[in-house]
Amino acid sequence: AQSVTQPDIHITVSEGASLELRCNYSYGATPYLFWYVQSPGQGLQLLLKYFSGDTLVQGIKGFEAEFKRSQSSFNLRKPSVHWSDAAEYFCAVGDDDYKLSFGAGTTVTVRA
Amino acid sequence: DGGITQSPKYLFRKEGQNVTLSCEQNLNHDAMYWYRQDPGQGLRLIYYSQIVNDFQKGDIAEGYSVSREKKESFPLTVTSAQKNPTAFYLCASRTGAEQYFGPGTRLTVT
């Protein structure tokens, strides 16, 4: 069975600074990998996905993520955060049956 | 406008009562999913359905039931057998490998 670890429960970053959220996964085959964002009390919005090919993927809102098979990682980055990026971020891995397993999430606080 | 709707947004029930959460999609997706979200635990899969009239248990199906009589609808019933039903419930539908989520229903049982 697949699993996802997001080591950081909470990250605080200054507006305009860079952001990196860590994600490590466990899965026997080539995984489908996703990052979702959730604002308080809302559903999840898909930021980006990796299925195959180029290991650096671009997403919405200026986010990107890099798949590193050797490290079983799929870290999310943004060069310059905006106050509107304050939210909870979830990494997920999908299996061959397209079922998703989620990490526990990382809450991002943006300070002025 | 295509999307997934969940109603109501907030739901309150007394212990011992069954309650049904609605999930409707007009995206023409075959597959639909129910997740439960608790603070600090991410999302856990309750039930999923790949096609009409078929569904499978997820990781935490005990105390829940579903039906899939129509492609666009996948209601979830939280039964009195569910020991800790208070949570945020999210419905999703899938195209290819991508899942898209509804806005969620927050259920409080007292």
Residues B31 and B25: their CA atoms lie apart, in Å, by 10
Distance between start and end Cα atoms, chain A: 41
Tell me the average pLDDT of chain B. Answer: 95
Q: How far is A107 from chain B (nearest CA, A)?
A: 10
A98 CB neighbours in chain B (<8 A) are 31, 94, 97, 99
A32/B100 touch (CB, cutoff 8 Å), yes or no: no
Out of A44, A45, A104, closest to residue B40 by CB? A104
pLDDT in the model for residue A29: 79
- The pLDDT tens digits of the residues spanning A42-56 come to 999 999 999 988 999
B98 and A44 within 8 Å at the Cβ level: the answer is no
pLDDT digits (tens, 9 = 90+) for B64-95: 999 999 999 999 999 999 999 999 999 999 99
Structure tokens at A81: 């955060």
**Closest chain B residue to the Cα of A1, Cα to Cα:** B59
3-state secondary structure of A62: helix
Exposure string over B76-99, b if 16+ CB within 10 A, otherwise e: bebeeebeebebbbbbbbbeeebb
Give just the sign of the alpha carbon dihedral A92, A95, A98, A101.
negative
What is the distance between the alpha carbons of residues A70 and A72, in angstroms, rounded to a whole number?
A: 6
Looking at residue A23, what is its pLDDT? 98
pLDDT at position B38 is: 94
